Amino acid sequence: MTRSARRTRRMLQVTGAGAAALLALSACSSSDDDSAAGSGASSSPGGADKVSGTVNVFAAASLTEGFTELGKEFEKRHPGTKVVFNFGGSDSLAAGITSGAPADVFASASPRTMKIVTDAGDAAGTPATFVRNRLEIATLPGNPDEIASLKDLTDSDVKVVLCDEAVPCGAAAQKALTAAGLKLTPVSYEEDVKSALNKVVLKEADAAVVYRTDVKAAGDKVEGVEFPESAKAVNDYPITLLEDAPNAAAGRAFIELVRSAEGQRVLTGAGFTAP
């Protein structure tokens, strides 16, 4: 039952005996909606292949490049559709969803932030891991500080930025630092991985601990340095259709594209690894 149906139920319980029929009608409507969401059916002939309208996708900032490409492919495959993305820190996106922000799909950079949505009853079904990601150190082009390891980031002369620990890239960085037995005091904590990387791109920092996908997307604007502790902090990325999705058919079709061979080709090309 959707949040709107639950609200209807609470309202009808207050109105008295005459509300019973309306409640039954609401329940039937909710049941029909849930059935359509589960089967992939749409109002157009031909089922889920005949999707239309806007699909709103809330996705972790690190998915920006890969999902943008898949959004264009989705619109090409389904004329009459438009994919609208909201990229950002997974924790902020999850908070928006649980507060009622209209969205069809949520793709998180960690199971922990996805759990915020599932615990609130806002996920339609069980989220599925569709890619994995690991960390790299992004340095200035040419790596002028000769950074070769996490330990080098503890040098007081090196200005380092990290993602906030509340977001997946920050939590992963802390896990890697713990694995290395290191403590690091950054010059700033950033709200998402793109913001952390941008500090290096703008030369406001000497290095940042980010995802390797973001290092790859930045091209020659930064240089990436791998470190062994990143293996201790690999992030699983789950995706789900949302319970109150305004366009469930299109949302389901977008998820199918993401998990398809074509979707995996695009995402692994961006630096992710298959689940």
Domain of 1 in residue numbering reads as 1-39
Domain CATH code at residue 172 = 3.40.190.10
Do residues 221 and 239 both lie within one domain?
no
Q: What pLDDT score does 40 carry?
A: 34
- Exposed, middle or buried, 57 (CB in 10 Å: 0-12/13-18/19+)? buried
Q: Do the domain assignments include residue 255?
A: yes
Backbone phi, then psi, for 261, in 5-degree steps?
-60, -40
Between CA 13 and CA 46 the distance in angstroms is 39
Give the confidence band of 33 by pLDDT, cuts at 50, 70, 90. very low
Q: 3-state class of 208 per DSSP?
A: strand
- Contact present, 108 and 60 (Cβ < 8 Å): yes
Tally of domains within the chain: 3
pLDDT tens per residue across span 112-162: 999 999 999 999 999 999 999 999 999 999 999 999 999 999 999 999 999
Q: What pLDDT score does 38 carry?
A: 33
Do residues 153 and 222 both lie within one domain?
yes
Do residues 126 and 262 both lie within one domain?
yes
pLDDT tens per residue across span 169-226: 999 999 999 999 999 999 999 999 999 999 999 999 999 999 999 999 999 999 999 9
Q: 3-state class of 174 per DSSP?
A: helix
Helices 19-39 + 3-15 axis angle, to 10: 170
Do residues 117 and 245 both lie within one domain?
yes
Backbone phi, then psi, for 170, in 5-degree steps?
-70, -40
Comparing 273 with 16, the larger pLDDT belongs to 273
Q: Do the domain assignments include residue 275?
A: no
Q: Do the domain assignments include residue 103?
A: yes
- Contact present, 60 and 107 (Cβ < 8 Å): yes
Q: Do the domain assignments include residue 173?
A: yes
Do residues 8 and 144 both lie within one domain?
no
Q: Do the domain assignments include residue 11?
A: yes
Angle at 58 between CA 166 and CA 102, to 5 degrees: 115
Do residues 17 and 128 both lie within one domain?
no
Do residues 56 and 120 both lie within one domain?
yes
- Contact present, 36 and 22 (Cβ < 8 Å): no
Do residues 50 and 110 both lie within one domain?
yes
Radius of gyration of the chain (CA): 21
- Contact present, 96 and 58 (Cβ < 8 Å): yes
Least confident of 41-50, 75-84, 107-116, 243-252: 41-50
**From residue 79, how far is each of 13, 49, 109, 152, 250 by CA, in Å?**
43, 11, 29, 51, 12
Which residues lie across from 86 on neighbouring strands? Answer: 58
Q: Do the domain assignments include residue 274?
A: no
Do residues 35 and 161 both lie within one domain?
no
Do residues 47 and 102 both lie within one domain?
yes
* The pLDDT of residue 95 is above 60: yes
Instruction: Report the run of H or E that residue 4 belongs to, with start and end.
Output: helix 3-15
Candidates 198, 186, 189, 138; CA nearest to 165 is 189
Q: Do the domain assignments include residue 176?
A: yes
Do residues 202 and 118 both lie within one domain?
no
Q: What pLDDT score does 50 carry?
A: 82
Backbone phi, then psi, for 42, in 5-degree steps?
-130, 170
Between CA 78 and CA 66 the distance in angstroms is 18
Instruction: Give pTM, 2 decimals.
Output: 0.81
Comparing 68 with 25, the larger pLDDT belongs to 68
Do residues 122 and 250 both lie within one domain?
yes
Q: What pLDDT score does 197 carry?
A: 97
pLDDT tens per residue across span 212-257: 999 999 999 999 999 999 999 999 999 999 999 999 999 999 999 9
Q: Do the domain assignments include residue 102?
A: yes
